[in-house]
Structure 1
Amino acid sequence: MPDAAWRRVEAITARAPEKPAFGQPCNGCGFCCAAEPCGVARRFVPGAIDGAPCPAMEFEHGRFWCGMVRRPGRYLGLLHDWADEFLGGEVSKALGAGKGCCADVG
């Protein structure tokens, strides 16, 4: 990761918990989402582009959360949150949520 991108990620995640070691449980540090949007976001979230922070990053209670897991209808432009529970679960499975940190960097 180039120095400028690294500084941007550090600035975004400065108020969140420290990034866990590779393979350890996610703690909401936001590193992966600040570095770039995942494939799900790039495909479905307007404004999600490679090399930029994910627009679906949400910060609450001292940590980052995936907006596409929490309330995908908001990012998909659905008028109601009727599908959030189902779609959020499907996005969670697609992303491997709960499998551990997959950002194998410093």
Structure 2
Amino acid sequence: MTMQTIFIHPAAPPKPPEGAPCNGCGVCCLAQPCPVGMLLSRRRRGACQALRWDAVQARYRCGAITEPRAVVLAALPHGLRWLAPVPAALLGRLARRWVAAGQGCDSDLLPQAPPPASTTMPS
């Protein structure tokens, strides 16, 4: 079994069981981007750069769904950012389907809390 360290917002909800409704825990997207996230993040491993923390709802949200223009602007090279409105409009319409929003948790990852820090001084 491979171990990976991901940093989760302390207020994030716990990961639901696989197949249960998504609760915005962020575990799946913090561990590895989905195919849409790979395109937007230009990476295959690590946290998806399109992932956004929603402080009001205390959960993670897919920026491709909630902030498509900002996500596209961040993904495009500086010289092509003038094109952002077109792909952002398309992304905003299709992202829910592409990331399977509302389909339930599809992550089989088993998050574990880090061990508690030692409170004793080494002798």
> TM-score if structure 2 supplies the norm length?
0.69
Give the match for residue 35 of structure 1: 31
| 2:7 is the alignment partner of 1:2 | no
Query: In structure 1, how many angstroms separate the alpha carbons of the residues matched to 2:44 and 2:34?
Result: 9
> How big is the shift at 1:13?
4.3
| Larger helix share, 1 or 2 | 1
Give a deviation string over 1:46-96, Cα, whole Å, max 9, x none. x44122101111111211000011111111126676875653231111111
Say how many residue pairs are matched.
100
Where has structure 1 moved over 3 Å in runs of 4 or more? Answer: 78-86
2:98 paired residue number: 94
Aligned to 2:18: 22
Work out which of the two has the higher radius of gyration on C-alpha atoms and give 1 or 2.
Answer: 2
**Are the counterparts in 1 of residues 33 and 48 from structure 2 also a CA contact under 8 Å?**
yes
In the alignment, what sits opposite 1:53?
Answer: 47
Alignment RMSD: 2.2
Cα separation, 2, equivalents of 1:35 and 1:89: 25
One-letter amino acid of the structure 1 residue matched with residue 44 of structure 2: D
Q: What TM-score results when the alignment is normalised by the length of structure 1?
A: 0.78
* Aligned counterparts of 1:15 and 1:98: Cα–Cα separation in 2: 21
* Pairs within 5 Å for 1:59-74: 59-60=53-54, 61=56, 62-74=58-70
In structure 2, stretches of 5+ residues that fail to align are: 74-80, 111-123
Q: Distance in 2 between matches of 1:23 and 1:38?
A: 17
